[in-house]
Structure 1
Amino acid sequence: MPEASFSRGAHHPPTATASTAAASTAAAARGPDGPGAGLLGSLAPLLAEWLPRQRWFAGKGRPVTGFALVSATEILPSPPGGTTPGLLHLLIRAQQPEPPGHRHGFGCGHRRGAAASDCYQILLGVRTTLPPSLAPALIGRPSGGPLDGRTVYEALADPRLASILLERLRVPGRLDPLRFVREPSSAIPSILPPRLMTAEQSNSSVVYGDTFILKLFRRVSPGTNPDLELPLALARTGCTRVPAPAAWFEAAPPPEGPGPRPEPFTLGVLQPYLAGSTDGWQLALDALAVRADFTDAAHALGHATAEVHLAMADALPVSVLRRPQIEHLAAAMSERLDSAAAAVPALQPYRGALHAAYEDVAALGRTGRTWAAQRIHGDLHLGQALLTAERQWSLIDFEGEPSRPLAERRRPQPPVRDIAGMLRSFDYAAAVGGHDTPQDWAGGMRAAYCAGYAEASGTDPRDEPELLRAHETDKAVYEVLYEARHRPDWLPVPMTAIRRLAAAVR
């Protein structure tokens, strides 16, 4: 049930504020008696309180000033007075003031001076009375609107409703505007007990019987999410390093004016669950705790990374970065450094040397140097690598950095960006694991990882020191800003890398 305001996006005032129950555009979209009439207005006060508390909410620290309803779909109706829970699927834009220091452009999606807005996927359970076991999932009780007097809650916490999602994926089809798709070769059993995972940050995941895992994207935008696009493309090349999607679902947004219809939102992906696997972060910490060797594991992980990069280059378009693209890449890194240094004074003494690392790359571009660009993982670190029960490394979570615009995450980039992310992860593991000489341990793991990558790809990332250093510097600058804002006690970890990287270009 799209709201009329959706076509206006974030350029216009919200359709319901956090403090008033008003959903006139919903009624206009479907008529005075339509299913959207009054829905958003009755939910707005509840969502304004509940949404900012969720770990996956991206706008923390800024007030929610209003909401606009993109769509509302009853996946499972629940008649008033009945005992059967209902399942209501919502796409809602949460409107907030711009973050301090926000820079326009780069796909921010709204004009200067307008409220920023992100579109969130919310699944509401609807019951007359909430059983005690679901009390922690309570969102509230709407006043007015079609859910007046009912109880709404986080649906994924309800095994009955989580099972409904799996059934919709098992038997594909449309439930306007939702579309459920299943890979023809996938076999999905009808009865698999669901379990909501609690360790997710930017999304939510449900495990079904240790057989499948459904990842639901919370902040969504038009376009195929890389976490569907890339594993699907890799599966069709025969790559076994990445779990292949078994099913997924998406939403078709309403038209935005006379131009082409926006691409569908990717809402969730069902993939095999790698039961018995352990992520690389935990394995590294376990090895550090008992002073066990991790070199062979790092070498094998480098080999696996190269295999995935080669498969992506085979499955998807590649391009060449020439002087204009290289200069733009270096300029973007410099801009991020300046922004971070303005927020974190500890970076200031190193700005000149770090800028020089970026300038070294730009200078090579001006001499005619080129680099290949392709689709990459986008946010690779030890936590995104799983060692399976068969002792094989698999890579997961190809969404990229969720804070970046989707178009940017889908853009071909130098594979060394992924490599730099993993190298930084070894630094973090050494520091958190309490090694006596963390830089020595990390250095050994970095060398083993790059050697494994070179063995599989035929290209050693260390043979391009300027490009590798620039990307590692860019990642470390990002980490400094993140730690300063969220985990100040961890700030020394990236700052140690900043000092090392700055010294390397003096």
Structure 2
Amino acid sequence: MTVIPDSVPLGVALPETADSTLLSSLSSLLTRWLPNQRWFAGKGRPLDGLTLAAATELLPCRPGSATPGLLHLLVTAHQGRDTDCYQLLLGVRAVLPPALVPALIGRPETGPLRGCAVYDAVPDPRLTAVLLERLRAPGRLGALRFLREAGTAIGSGLSPRPLNAEQSNSSVVYGDAFILKLFRRVAPGSNPDLELPLALARAGCREVPAPAAWFESAEPPSGGGPLTLGILQPYLTGSSDGWQLALRALADGESFEGPAHALGRATAYVHTALARTLPTDVLAGGELAALAEEMTERLDRATEAVPELDRYRPALRDAFRAVVDMARAGHQVPVQRIHGDLHLGQVLRTGASAGGGSWALIDFEGEPAKSLAERRTPQPVLRDVAGMLRSFDYAAHSRGATAASRAWARANRRAYRAGYEEAAGTELRAQAALLRVFETDKAVYEVLYEARHRPSWLPIPMAAVRRLAGGPG
């Protein structure tokens, strides 16, 4: 048996023999625990096994020690031919305090941590405080590299607390100053949630919180560039997300058109800054035809899973054919880097009420189900616009499909488009056919998602499908 020696210093990669012994001792525990985590991507499929990509000891893990240890692991989950790499932060204690019992993963029966309580470290403030200290002092620790944006000040002694509202990642707030997003499912290459806000901040864009520090894998386990593991950004104290503000306005019978108009402007400012800062391109000819084919294939797959779509499929296919017609007519569609998953839950409004303050766009990670390469591919800005239009529809119909809620959605969709047009200097009406294409594609995606995960919400995207199948009005 290989035991991690007492002399292992803070922040080192464990010896290879310790790595193999460590994983074998934890494998059965993690195999049971991982599929039950909300951020695990392979739900519903057997987990065939785990391999260890990297292990770093951020705090010494000594059995019987009175102080907690902290392990950082990158593990690869194997499910048939599919593999996904996950970031795990594991706390190690001899005795687990009652407050941390829900985070328990188990007690290994063998290996270097035999008999210790191994648990998810994110709820443990003693251990998440270590991450902030590492970010305050950039440099390499074992298999990890910590970096900090020049000119940023990160205070010490900020009290950490985890947030519990996210699905695909984990976040820790430090005092009321910073928020650290920890990516759970990771892939080689710069994560758009770091790449885009960093580029926007350096370009002077005020609509996106600027990254203060981040950490990544120092030695990518599978090539292809470092894995972005966590990002520290300013915490917008007193802000509220757009979804909650919209629902509150709807419930109180208040107008949301002013904030919707301002949100359209903020979206356009971000798009303009991205186009000015990062490379742009155009889609034409075969590329446009391929886009239409991709959307049609998604529609066909969704129809197989949700037969209620079949009656609308001919009309929805007609919408996608508009893209083919554009290609044949020689049209070109500008593409650039975009948010990629824009909706009311991805925007924050500062100020005491929906009527005051300003908007900030957050979470540039893109749709988690897509590969990192897909999320970094330039897209038409109308994909973001369509996502926000669908979000207004969702907010309205979540309160019931009434005439009043439909009118609320229409008014806010108009206000958002108007704000976007003013700030972007473009007329969306001239792109109505293409906007309908992206809204249709988004609605089809929503139908499949709701059928699989929230069947009671399926009527919301189905109502949009009926509307969009009726034409571009």
TM-score range, shorter chain: over 0.9
* 2:167 matches 1:201: yes
- The 2-side partners of 1:423 and 1:204 are apart by 27
- Residue of structure 1 aligned with 2:378, choices 412, 436, 441: 412
Instruction: Note if contact 1:180-1:248 (Cα within 8 Å) is conserved in structure 2.
Output: yes
- Post-superposition CA distance 1:375-425 (Å, at most 9, x none): 000000011111112700000000000110000000000000000000000
Aligned with residue 382 of structure 1, among 344, 359, 374: 344
* Partner residue in 1 for 2:471: 504
C-alpha distance in structure 2 between counterparts of 1:366 and 1:431, whole Å: 38
1:494 aligns with 2:461: yes
> Which consecutive unaligned segments of at least 5 residues does structure 2 have?
1-13
Task: Tell me the equivalent position of 1:339.
Answer: 301
Tell me, yes or no, if the aligned pair for 1:87 and 1:155 is still in contact at 8 Å: yes
TM-score, normalization: structure 2?
Answer: 0.94
Map 1:124-135 → 2, pairs under 5 A:
124-135=90-101
Residue identity opposite 1:222 in structure 2: P
Aligned residue type for 1:272: P
* 2:45 matches 1:88: no
Structure 2 SS opposite 1:157: coil
CA contact (8 A) 1:253 1:262 kept: no
CA contact (8 A) 2:316 2:468 kept: yes
Rounded to whole Å, the distance in 1 between the matches of 2:450 and 2:284 is 34
1:460, CA displacement in angstroms? Answer: 2.3
Residue aligning to 1:396? 362
Q: CA offsets, 1:10-49, max 9 Å, x none?
A: xxxxxxxxxxxxxxxxxxx955xx3213111111110111
Q: Which of residues 417, 421, 430 in structure 2 aligns to 1:454?
A: 421
Q: Does 1:211 align with 2:177?
A: yes
Contact 1:67 1:92 in 2 (8 A): yes
**1:8 — aligned with what?**
none
Q: Distance in 2 between matches of 1:117 and 1:474?
A: 27
**Given the alignment, which residue of 54, 57, 68 partners 1:74?**
57
Equivalent residue, structure 1, for 2:442: 475
Tell me which residue corresponds to 2:45.
62
In the aligned structure 1, how far is the partner of 2:91 from the partner of 2:140?
Answer: 20
Residue of structure 1 in register with 2:144 after alignment:
178
| CA deviation string 1:89-139 (max 9, x = no partner) | 000011113xxxxxxxxxxxxxxxxx2111100000011111112111101
Aligned residue for 1:291, secondary structure, equals coil
Instruction: Give CA deviations for 1:401-450 in whole Å, capped at 9, x if unaligned.
Output: 01100000000000000000000001001111347313222111111100
| Residue number in structure 1 paired with 2:158 | 192
Deviation, 1:350, is: 0.8
Change (3 A) 1:417 1:254: closer
Contact 1:353/1:505, CA 8 A, preserved across alignment? no
Letter in 1 for 2:458: L
Choose which of 205, 225, 238 in structure 2 pairs with 1:239: 205
Counterpart of 2:3 in structure 1 is none
**Stretch moving more, 368-377 or 436-445:** 436-445
Contact 1:70 1:253 in 2 (8 A): no
Q: How many corresponding residue pairs?
A: 455
Matched with 1:436 is 402
- Residue in structure 1 matched with residue 9 of structure 2 by the alignment: none
- In structure 2, which of residues 216, 231, 234 is the aligned counterpart of residue 269 of structure 1? 231
Identity of matched residues, %: 62
Conserved? CA contact 1:279–1:382, under 8 Å = yes
Q: Which amino acid aligns with 2:198?
A: L
Corresponding residue number in structure 2 for 1:140: 106
Structure 1 residues 444 and 255 mapped into 2: Cα distance closer, same or farther (>3 Å)? Answer: closer
CA RMSD of aligned residues (A): 1.4
- Following the alignment from structure 1 to structure 2, what is the Cα–Cα distance between the partners of residues 163 and 287? 37
Q: Gaps (5+ residues) in structure 1?
A: 1-28, 98-114
Match of 1:440, as an amino acid?
A
3-state SS in 1 of match to 2:365: coil
Q: d(CA) in 1 for partners of 2:457 and 2:220? A: 44
| Distance in 1 of aligned mates of 2:218 and 2:380 | 32
Q: Distance in 1 between matches of 2:103 and 2:227?
A: 25
Q: 1:234 and 1:206 mapped to 2: Cα distance?
A: 23
Answer whether contact 1:78 1:126 (CA < 8 A) is retained.
yes
Q: State the alpha-carbon separation in 2 of the partners of residues 400 and 413 from structure 1.
A: 12
SS at match of 2:20: coil
Q: Distance in 1 between matches of 2:437 and 2:401?
A: 26
Aligned to 1:427: 393
1:108 paired residue number: none
Question: Counterpart of 2:7?
Answer: none
Shift of 1:264: 0.4
SS class of match (1:46): helix
Counterpart in 1 of 2:432?
465
Q: Distance in 2 between matches of 1:441 and 1:287?
A: 10
1:464-502 alpha-carbon deviations (Å, 9 max, x no partner): 011100000000000000110111111110000001101
Amino acid at match of 1:93: T
**1:10 match:** none
CA distance in 1 between partners of 2:462 and 2:220 (Å): 46
Determine if the alignment matches structure 1 residue 49 to structure 2 residue 32: yes
State the shift of 1:262 in Å. Answer: 2.1
In the TM superposition, residue 462 of structure 1 has moved relative to its aligned partner by 2.6
CA-CA distance at 1:78 after TM superposition: 2.7
- Tell me the CA shift for residue 228 of structure 1: 0.2
Q: In the superposition, relative to structure 1, how do residues 505 and 432 fare at CA in structure 2: closer, same or farther (>3 Å)? A: closer
- Alignment match, 1:305: 267
Residues 64-107 of structure 1 deviation map (CA, whole Å, 9 limit, x = unaligned): 1100111011011132221110110000011113xxxxxxxxxx
Q: Which residue of 2 aligns with 1:248?
A: 214
Q: Distance in 2 between matches of 1:254 and 1:381?
A: 32
The alignment status of 1:317 with 2:279, answered yes or no, reads: yes
Aligned residue in 1 for 2:329: 367
Shift of 1:255: 6.6
Distance 1:232 1:288, change over 3 A: same
Partner amino acid, structure 2, of 1:322: A
Map of 1:352 onto structure 2: 314
Q: Which residue of 2 aligns with 1:101?
A: none
- 2:292 aligned with 1:330, yes or no? yes
- Checking the alignment, whether the CA contact within 8 Å between 2:203 and 2:273 is kept in structure 1 is yes
Q: Supply the distance in 2 between the matched residues of 1:505 and 1:181 (Cα, whole angstroms).
A: 48
Q: Hey, what's the Cα distance between the residues in 2 that align with 1:461 and 1:255?
A: 45
